[in-house]
Chain A
Amino acid sequence: MAIAEELAKKQRAISVAEFFEKNRQILGFDSAPRSLITCVKEAVDNALDACEDASILPNILVQIARVGDACLVTVEDNGPGIVREQIPRIFAKLLYGSRFHVLKQSRGQQGIGISAAVLYSQLTSGKPTKITSRIDINEPAHYYELIINTKTNEPEIIVERTTDWDRPHGTRIEMEMEASYVRGRRQSVYEYMKATAIVNPHARLTLIEPDGNVVVFDRATDQMPRQPNEIKPHPDGMELGTLIKMLRYTDRQKLISFLMNEFSRMGRKTAEDICKAAAIDPDEIPAKLSHDQAKRLLGAFRKVRIQAPPMDCLSPIGEELIYKGLEKEYDVDFISTTTRSATVHSGNPFIVEAGIAFGGSLPKEDRIDILRFANKVPLLYQQGGCAITHAIEQVNWRNYELNQSGGNGIPVGPAVVFVHVASTKVPFTSESKNAIADIPEIMNEIKLAVQDIARDMKNYLSRKKLLEKRKGKEEIIKKILPRMVAKVSSIVGKEEPDIGPVIAKIMGNILVQREVAQRDDGCVVSIRVRNFDEHARSFKLHELSKYDVVEAPEAKLVDMGDATNLVWKISLGPGEQKVLCYKIECSGTPQLQTPIAEGIDEEVIIGARVV
């Protein structure tokens, strides 16, 4: 027998379940704490997706209990439930799911997640997974105990019966596994739940920890997120292999109808333009196109202007809800959020959203925390390998008042940066879905979003600084200076001097001082106006006089009946001053009212009443 024939005896197909049984780290089951997070995450993702599809406000319970050395993970939701016949395959067959062939934003995509968790559970505990599900109050709840036959990747039903359940509809999964529950670190079930609560403000999440401690992450809104729609692929960024596959398997008999029906944003006019640009007959049979023609067609996609893909396939969280989510989970002084408009990478629409929370009880000396999300799922691992982290590192944070040694890298300061990438297809770096690949279009959008919110934060900080400066100055003039003047005067034994001018100088204000000189034929009143501010100031100064005004060279006089109103228009540059004089008929000391200023803020003028 030839060697090749000998070898051929050993060659056989590998079941996907068998493959993952041997390579479970690919799916995020490496260490004991991480495996636990991955299992919780897969179950919660499914629950949230199911509730969203059914427009139900999610109410999800996660319980971790210790059973000997192992952990028992229970996740229960109030979702629509699963029809009886589907239960075994959904939970106990890898790569079985409803979302893989659909172009719309969802948490799960491949149909690996939950069945991989079931596989992990059965590998480490040797026990089946228990499922309870009910689709309606008028139907019984179904109870299953399942394992995956790894040789065939088919479910094996150990127990199947109906059961009593207090929920009108929903699904409950119980898995026993080798795992460890950790606390107080970033990568923990608790932090995963907290992050999930931030991006799903419509969900109510309850966590029961192994010691019986109950943590509730309550919902911040009763409004359901908008349902994303399903779309067809967009020509932008289409790859040649994909196009050739589509051409070969389409049922369409003409190229033009293939283009118009299999792609989004492709009207007759656009489809004709593309055929023309590719120099291919629109009536050509798609499956007959040569490799060279397919290439030309792809080239034409780039040449012809095609409308951006529709965005209703995406469901961003929205600025307001991100704000609420951050506000709910962090005690901070300032929050800013932004949702960018949608763009496209390789034909897949995506939206970047970002938020920043600053100050409050956040640590000042540590590097900022980055909260990464993809399609509303928190990413806890591989922060260093993620496009979100890389984009944040490339921002020059010194421009935004955070410390950043060398002008790149993760900045230091009391801040948390939140980034959510929503897409019909999030390009992950690996199957464990913990890091987004460095796609230039995505990196760029993240950077723009982060710069947006960082700018807001900078403005907030400079406003705060200004206010603090102002506050410091008020402390000087209201508290320190009066005490100093009192002390100094008492030591030298003299009367306290008028400190109005000094205050005006310290505050950078306008100072109005008035002097009266007695003459034989009346009184000369002179008003000295000085500008100690760094800016030019313009305003009107009024003087109400009940005496007869005999001379007032620069003033406009307005007769008010029993008094005369003298009005000056004053405009003073920084450091400038002006003396206004007028003469009144009066013997003895005249009784004058405080001058009145108009068109200026009260806090920048001393010695005049502001109206």
Chain B
Amino acid sequence: MIEKDKQTQRKLLDLIEEFYTQLENEEVPALQLPTRTKANIAYDDEAEVWVYGDRESTRSAKTTRGAYQLLKTSYVVDFLNTQLKQAKSSTLRELYYISENWDLAKFGEQQESDRLIEDLEIVSALQREDFHIRPEEDGASILGPIRVREQTRRGTKTIHCQDDVGEAGYQIPCNVDSLEFLEHNAKFVIAIETGGMRDRLVENEFDERFNAIVVHLKGQPARSTRRLMKRMSEELKLPVAVFTDGDPWSYRIFASVAYGSIKSAHLSEYMATPGAMFVGIRPSDIVNYELPTDKLTDQDIRALHSLLSDPRFETDFWQSEISLQLELNKKAEQQSLAKYGLDFVTDTYLPERLAEMGMI
């Protein structure tokens, strides 16, 4: 067993030792965790990202819910312990299926086991890769003037993300940290929420015309996608722009890229790109460009109100944009720009906006 895995094992077993000690000391087993809500995230001045604050909640065997969570925690640690000993690895989904055999400790849905792994990351100050737990490939991709070297299970490969790939681009691997950046002549990174808009930029050769690295987020971006952008921003000193739909869910996507997500704020330092800028669609774009719109749904409205009290959105820019959107009672998609023709987004909207933001 390699040293790193031994340390991981030690940290996981410490948690179980603690449960045992609690039982020996006639205490009801309990686990302290930071509260994972928007009320408990704080701005870290040094890292310039949002991390968990001081609030903790207790998971105690006094309640049925808490007791189940602790039981499941024990089973998961047992499983991870064995996996580390045997130098094996598994995916999040596999872990969920493995729990089928755990009787009462079985997970009801994958979300639950995913969350428990996140809890263990927080408690141990490690990352799931350390537990030998991998996510599924989510198929997010990049396309742009950069050459990378990837360590694959079939040897080292060098790939130019424009010349050596098809229109689908270079698929971002799970373990981004093993990726090496070689040479590039990119000016900036632009992350796109939807596939339709990403394809529009590729068809209009936006990456070549502006020397841009086009990242496809595929909705809420995976950790690897966020980590990749963070590395390009830090190591290559490239500015990062985020281009999404104009609705509250898209603003959350931007926030998780730029500020760190609430669900995984323990990894913000590792994954958030503090300098990332929001291109649009902005509520003010709806007015200025007279974009085709949809009415806000009740859920949209609730989500927007929730953003208003989210510490990550406390800036004047976001407060006034969100208030404007509530007033308009409308939302617009990225592709609504097609109202002005298929080239409008690459010839006019993006160049104008990016210039305004000082990126080109």
Q: Which residues of A contact B (CB under 8 A)?
A: 472-473, 475-476, 479-481, 483-485, 487-492, 494, 497, 499, 501-502, 505-506
User: What are 14 contact pairs spanning A and B, CB under 8 A?
Assistant: A473-B64, A476-B61, A481-B61, A484-B29, A487-B71, A487-B74, A487-B78, A488-B16, A488-B20, A491-B13, A491-B74, A497-B20, A497-B24, A501-B26
With a cutoff of 8 Å between Cβ atoms, the chain B residues found around residue A480 in the complex are 61, 64, 67-68, 71, 104
Residue of A499, A502, A505 with most chain B CB atoms under a 10 A cut-off: A502
Cα A452 to Cα B220 in complex, Å, equals: 53
Q: Are A484 and B67 in contact (CB under 8 A)?
A: yes
Query: In the complex, given contacts A485-B23, A487-B71, A502-B61, what are 7 additional A-B residue pairs having Cβ atoms less than 8 angstroms apart?
Result: A472-B63, A476-B61, A483-B103, A487-B78, A491-B16, A501-B26, A502-B23
Distance (whole angstroms) from the CB of B11 to the closest CB of chain A? 14
Distance (whole angstroms) from the CB of A467 to the closest CB of chain B? 14
- Residue from A483, A490, A491, A502 in contact with B26 in the complex, judged by beta carbons closer than 8 Å: A502
Closest residue of A by beta carbon distance from B70: A484
Cα A472 to Cα B75 in complex, Å, equals: 21
Cα A348 to Cα B78 in complex, Å, equals: 78
Distance (whole angstroms) from the CB of B75 to the closest CB of chain A? 6
Distance (whole angstroms) from the CB of B104 to the closest CB of chain A? 6
Cα A501 to Cα B29 in complex, Å, equals: 12
With a cutoff of 8 Å between Cβ atoms, the chain B residues found around residue A502 in the complex are 23, 26-29, 61
Q: Are A483 and B105 in contact (CB under 8 A)?
A: yes
Encoded as 1 (CB less than 8 Å from any A CB) or 0, chain B from 101 to 120 comes to 00111000000000000000
Q: Are B17 and A483 in contact (CB under 8 A)?
A: no
With a cutoff of 8 Å between Cβ atoms, the chain A residues found around residue B26 in the complex are 501-502, 505
Cα A489 to Cα B105 in complex, Å, equals: 16
With a cutoff of 8 Å between Cβ atoms, the chain B residues found around residue A473 in the complex are 64
Closest residue of A by beta carbon distance from B73: A484
- Residue from A489, A491, A497 in contact with B77 in the complex, judged by beta carbons closer than 8 Å: A491
Residue of B29, B64, B70 with most chain A CB atoms under a 10 A cut-off: B64
Q: Are A506 and B62 in contact (CB under 8 A)?
A: yes
With a cutoff of 8 Å between Cβ atoms, the chain B residues found around residue A505 in the complex are 26-28, 62
Q: Are A492 and B17 in contact (CB under 8 A)?
A: yes
With a cutoff of 8 Å between Cβ atoms, the chain B residues found around residue A489 in the complex are 20
- Residue from B27, B64, B103 in contact with A475 in the complex, judged by beta carbons closer than 8 Å: B64
Closest residue of B by beta carbon distance from A480: B67
The A-B contact count (CB < 8 A) is 72
Q: Are A491 and B78 in contact (CB under 8 A)?
A: yes
Cα A342 to Cα B67 in complex, Å, equals: 55
Cα A499 to Cα B77 in complex, Å, equals: 21
Q: Does B81 contact A (CB under 8 A)?
A: yes
Q: Are A483 and B81 in contact (CB under 8 A)?
A: no
Cα A182 to Cα B68 in complex, Å, equals: 51
- Residue from B20, B68, B71, B103 in contact with A492 in the complex, judged by beta carbons closer than 8 Å: B20
Cα A475 to Cα B62 in complex, Å, equals: 11
Q: Are B67 and A476 in contact (CB under 8 A)?
A: yes
Distance (whole angstroms) from the CB of B10 to the closest CB of chain A? 13
Q: Does B19 contact A (CB under 8 A)?
A: yes
Q: Are A479 and B104 in contact (CB under 8 A)?
A: yes
Known: A488-B19, A488-B74, A492-B17. A483 touches B24 (CB 8 A): no
Cα A487 to Cα B19 in complex, Å, equals: 11
Closest residue of A by beta carbon distance from B103: A483
Closest residue of B by beta carbon distance from A468: B64
Distance (whole angstroms) from the CB of A30 to the closest CB of chain B? 37
Cα A470 to Cα B19 in complex, Å, equals: 24
Cα A481 to Cα B30 in complex, Å, equals: 12
Encoded as 1 (CB less than 8 Å from any A CB) or 0, chain B from 282 to 296 comes to 000000000000000
Cα A476 to Cα B70 in complex, Å, equals: 11
Closest residue of B by beta carbon distance from A505: B28
7 shortest interchain CB distances as A-B pairs: A501-B26, A480-B67, A487-B74, A472-B64, A484-B71, A476-B67, A497-B23
Residue of A475, A487, A501 with most chain B CB atoms under a 10 A cut-off: A487
Closest residue of B by beta carbon distance from A502: B28
Closest residue of B by beta carbon distance from A473: B64
With a cutoff of 8 Å between Cβ atoms, the chain B residues found around residue A499 in the complex are 23
Q: Are A488 and B104 in contact (CB under 8 A)?
A: no
With a cutoff of 8 Å between Cβ atoms, the chain B residues found around residue A481 in the complex are 61, 67
Q: Are A506 and B105 in contact (CB under 8 A)?
A: no
With a cutoff of 8 Å between Cβ atoms, the chain A residues found around residue B77 in the complex are 491
Q: Which of B1-38 contact A (CB under 8 A)?
A: 13, 16-17, 19-20, 23-24, 26-29
Cα A499 to Cα B13 in complex, Å, equals: 21
With a cutoff of 8 Å between Cβ atoms, the chain A residues found around residue B71 in the complex are 480, 483-484, 487
Distance (whole angstroms) from the CB of B7 to the closest CB of chain A? 17
Cα A499 to Cα B22 in complex, Å, equals: 10
Q: Are A494 and B20 in contact (CB under 8 A)?
A: yes
Q: Are B20 and A484 in contact (CB under 8 A)?
A: no
With a cutoff of 8 Å between Cβ atoms, the chain B residues found around residue A472 in the complex are 63-64
Distance (whole angstroms) from the CB of A576 to the closest CB of chain B? 16
Residue of A480, A485, A490, A505 with most chain B CB atoms under a 10 A cut-off: A480
Distance (whole angstroms) from the CB of B102 to the closest CB of chain A? 9
- Residue from B24, B64, B74 in contact with A484 in the complex, judged by beta carbons closer than 8 Å: B74
Distance (whole angstroms) from the CB of A332 to the closest CB of chain B? 27
Closest residue of A by beta carbon distance from B18: A488
Distance (whole angstroms) from the CB of A530 to the closest CB of chain B? 9
With a cutoff of 8 Å between Cβ atoms, the chain A residues found around residue B61 in the complex are 476, 480-481, 484, 502, 506
With a cutoff of 8 Å between Cβ atoms, the chain B residues found around residue A475 in the complex are 64
Distance (whole angstroms) from the CB of A485 to the closest CB of chain B? 6
Distance (whole angstroms) from the CB of B241 to the closest CB of chain A? 44
Distance (whole angstroms) from the CB of A98 to the closest CB of chain B? 58
Cα A573 to Cα B13 in complex, Å, equals: 39
- Residue from B17, B28, B68, B75 in contact with A487 in the complex, judged by beta carbons closer than 8 Å: B75
With a cutoff of 8 Å between Cβ atoms, the chain B residues found around residue A476 in the complex are 61-64, 67
Q: Are A483 and B104 in contact (CB under 8 A)?
A: yes
Cα A33 to Cα B29 in complex, Å, equals: 65
With a cutoff of 8 Å between Cβ atoms, the chain A residues found around residue B63 in the complex are 472, 476
Encoded as 1 (CB less than 8 Å from any A CB) or 0, chain B from 333 to 353 comes to 000000000000000000000
With a cutoff of 8 Å between Cβ atoms, the chain A residues found around residue B75 in the complex are 487
Cα A511 to Cα B250 in complex, Å, equals: 55
Closest residue of B by beta carbon distance from A507: B62
Cα A68 to Cα B118 in complex, Å, equals: 71
Cα A506 to Cα B63 in complex, Å, equals: 8
Distance (whole angstroms) from the CB of B86 to the closest CB of chain A? 16
Cα A489 to Cα B75 in complex, Å, equals: 12
Cα A379 to Cα B70 in complex, Å, equals: 56
Closest residue of A by beta carbon distance from B66: A476
Closest residue of A by beta carbon distance from B64: A472
Cα A502 to Cα B27 in complex, Å, equals: 6
Cα A501 to Cα B61 in complex, Å, equals: 13
With a cutoff of 8 Å between Cβ atoms, the chain B residues found around residue A487 in the complex are 71, 74-75, 78, 105
Cα A494 to Cα B64 in complex, Å, equals: 26
Closest residue of A by beta carbon distance from B12: A491
With a cutoff of 8 Å between Cβ atoms, the chain A residues found around residue B13 in the complex are 491-492
